[in-house]
Amino acid sequence: MFRRTLFGVVIATTPLLAQVTTPGAGTPCASLAALTIPGVTIKSADIVAAGPFTPPAAPGTPTTVLTLPAHCRVDAIARPTHDSEIKFEVWIPPVEAWNGKFQGVGNGGYSGAIGYAAMAVGLKRGYAVASTDTGHTGDDMKFGQGHPEKIVDWAYRAIHVTAEAAKLIVRDAQGRFAEHSYFVGCSSGGHQALSEAQRYPEDYDGIVAGDPANNRIRQTFGFLNSWIATHNGDGKPTIPVNKLPLLTKAAVEACDAIDGLKDGLIDDPRRCHFDPVKLLCKAGDDATCLTQSQVDAARKMYEGTKSTKTGETIYTGWPRGSEAFGDRAIEGWGQYVVNPNEPMRVGFFRYFLFHDPNWDYRTIDMERDLAFAEQKLPFMSAVEKDLTPFKKRGGKLLMYTGWADPVVPPGDTVAYYDGVVKTMGGLEKTRDFFRFFLAPGMGHCSGGPGPNTFDMLGALEQWVEKGAAPDKVIASHSTNGKVDRTRPLCQYPLVARVKGTGSTDDAASFACVAATPPAAAKPTTGGLR
């Protein structure tokens, strides 16, 4: 009886306590338009009812109708410099649906579009979410011509000012600051994620950096070099895109079993030294084999961008297994290397670096022009390896990438993590706040034959809010919407290996174990260009 009575008393007082401890309900949505934040103009603030929402059309992006929960939609512009025009939106759930947290979401490519789809994912989880167009419209790099401040906005400033303004807007709407803030991004969003950890460690408590294009300047040199390596003098591709699947198939056949499990996946392409000469045509060229020049082009893709003077690697090569395993841009070399009529992101040289719209990529001098770029536009990259300020403020960072990423070579992401480990004083002192997960057989941010669907934000929430650091993250692979394989993604440098006799399609059959470090890749050819 006593217990029941006490229980009853507790129940009775809870609503009263809640009233006392919960601050005011905040500012009504429509009134947010009257907020005055320095450097920020709020264009509108409107209640959006639950249901279908059609985002404003963005150049080059197909319009997808989203289904959203009810929220307050704030549309705003930040102008941190005289030439800035940073559009951003903040979506705020009603107080009863709010999880008390804020999430900034990243962009893709050179962006120029608010990430509505990513915002929708966060909003559905109860987050107040924000996204920016990074200060210009469209994926075209011409916006940088004569607008140096807009290049800075794209490179890192837009994400930061959006975070600062959005937190204040959320505070006004809810009557209190968010308890935790997270940033989630992949590709350029991964670049933005690392930039935030490096440049503005106070912005976010937890950060997810996926397939990060953070080594941006060198990646651009890598794209240019790989285009030249895979195209003839007339600009036509040496390897037609429909031959790329031959390479993936042969590489997987040659290297699948190196990890001890024939599952159609190359666990770690650094251990794979498949030489495309195995596909050399015996007689004339046909669809089932490669000509000598096609073999050479593939070798150069694997080998990466090297200094013609010293032979040192300027930018890592693309991994074996990334050539073509699907039709989407994230599933092969087609969209970023083979198909374009000119090197991908050649606009970097024309509009950002040389201010010469007629610049001819054939005039590139790797050493000279790289040195010039890294001196003129160092802020384009986010490669700082000393993350002490982020670690000290208690920030947590989860990074992941696909071992078959055909856009941002995973070797570069591994090199960044290794560099941070070295700078921060070893693996133990790094994994305290920064953990890295590699997904075998995953493409750029998703897709591929390997398990490629996982909840990195969920793992990060556990770490930030409960102190439970993830040792592994379970990933799944689906065919036609049905899960057909699960597998742990192990904390680098551990790898997933079968424990015993269970199903190799079940994550429970695997343990994360240490593997002997792979040997350095054997050189396949001499000079690169």
Residues that bind Ca ion in the complex, under the rule CB under 5 A: 256, 259, 261, 263, 265
Q: What minimum distance in Å lies between the beta carbon of 414 and Ca ion?
A: 18
Distance CA 437, CA 338 (A): 29
CB-wise, 261 or 511, nearer to Ca ion? 261
Mark 43-78 as b/e (b = at least 16 C-beta within 10 Å). Answer: eebeeeeeeebebeebeebeeeebebbebbbbbbbb
Q: Which is nearer to Ca ion, 205 or 259 (CB)?
A: 259
Q: Which residues pair with 313 in a beta bridge?
A: 306
Distance CA 399, CA 210 (A): 6
Annotation says 187 is catalytic: yes
CA angle 223, 225, 228 (to 5 degrees): 110
| CB closer to Ca ion, 97 vs 261 | 261
Q: Which of 443, 486, 497 is nearest to 258 (CA)?
A: 497
DSSP string, 313-337: EEEPPPPTT-SBSSSSGGGBSIIII
Question: Cβ-count burial of 491 within 10 angstroms (0-12 exposed, 13-18 middle, 19+ buried)?
Answer: buried
Nearer to Ca ion, 196 or 256 (CB): 256
Amino acid letter, residue 449? P
Residue 31 known to be catalytic: no
Q: Which of 133, 203, 405, 412 is catalytic?
A: 405
**Pick the catalytic residue: 111, 131, 181, 187?**
187
Residue 89 or 259: which CB sits closer to Ca ion? Answer: 259
To the nearest whole angstrom, how small is the minimum distance from the Cβ of residue 15 to Ca ion? 57
Instruction: Give CA–CA dist 94/49, Å, rounded.
Output: 11
End-to-end Cα distance, the chain: 86
One-letter amino acid at 223 equals F
Residue among 261 and 415 whose Cβ is closer to Ca ion: 261
- CB-based burial, 213-247: b 16+ in 10 Å, e otherwise: bbbbbbbbbbbbbbbbbbbeeeeebbbebebbebb
**Cβ 255 vs Cβ 323: under 8 Å:** no
d(Cα 349, Cα 356) in Å, to the nearest integer? 8
Torsion sign over Cα 169, 380, 434, 303:
positive
Residue in 147, 180, 191, 444 annotated catalytic: 444
What minimum distance in Å lies between the beta carbon of 210 and Ca ion?
23
Q: Is 172 annotated in the active site?
A: no
Which residue's CB is nearer to Ca ion, number 85 or number 259? 259
Question: What value, to the nearest 5°, has the Cα angle with vertex 513 and ends 508 and 514?
Answer: 165
Provide the Cα torsion 513, 519, 521, 526; round to 10°. 170
Residues annotated as catalytic are 187, 405, 444
